[in-house]
Amino acid sequence: MTSSTHLLSEPQEVADVLYDMISEAAGELGIGFVGLNENLRPEYPAVVILPGAKINTWHATHTFEVRLEVQIYVYHAKLNSKHATRTRDDLQLCTDIENLIHSGEMNLDGQVIQCFVQEVHPRRLHRPTGEQVVGTQMIVFIRSQKGFPYAP
């Protein structure tokens, strides 16, 4: 990495890149809706991407190591008697999203040092309307750097 290389260092920046990546592949993956910070999920399956935590740690002279988290929620279907748990297709969709994120050198085309899906959790997700949805929470871990002086 050279000093002129700009690495992403904010959760929202990485969420934007993941949104673009998943949106571009949505048709191929069979995703009905991709949102960024959205509450509305008009079609299933739906994917919603939310920026998460940011942690700065001292890395080297004049450099922070920046650890970021982005959460991806996959809404498979409304919870009902016919779809009460994740199906094989639901699990495959999560695997396909994970493989997409892990493609290349797992660094979002050089925009971060490292990016990978760290955790995958099956969930019953609750919409603001009270409706329950069969879903999956995916936590993406990102490692990057930012030089001093640190000014947001």
59-68, pLDDT tens digit by residue? 877 889 999 9
| Among the listed residues 105, 98, 100, the one whose alpha carbon sits nearest the alpha carbon of residue 143 | 105
- Look at the block and give the residue holding tokens 């959205």: 38
Q: What is the pLDDT of residue 150?
A: 54
Q: What is the pLDDT of residue 129?
A: 79
CB proximity list for 104: less than 8 A, separation 6 or greater: none
Task: Decide which of 108 and 132 is more confident.
Answer: 108
Pairing of strands 132-147, 114-126: antiparallel
**Alpha helix locations (H) across the chain?**
11-29, 88-101
Cα 57 off chain centre by: 22
Domain chopping of the chain, boundaries? 11-147
User: What token pair was written down for 86?
Assistant: 């994740």
Q: What is the mean pLDDT of the chain?
A: 88
Burial class (CB in 10 A: 0-12, 13-18, 19+), 98: middle
Region 11-147: CATH code = 3.30.2000.30
Percent of the chain at pLDDT > 70 equals: 88
How many Cα neighbours within 13 Å face the side chain of 121? 11
Q: pTM for the full model? A: 0.88
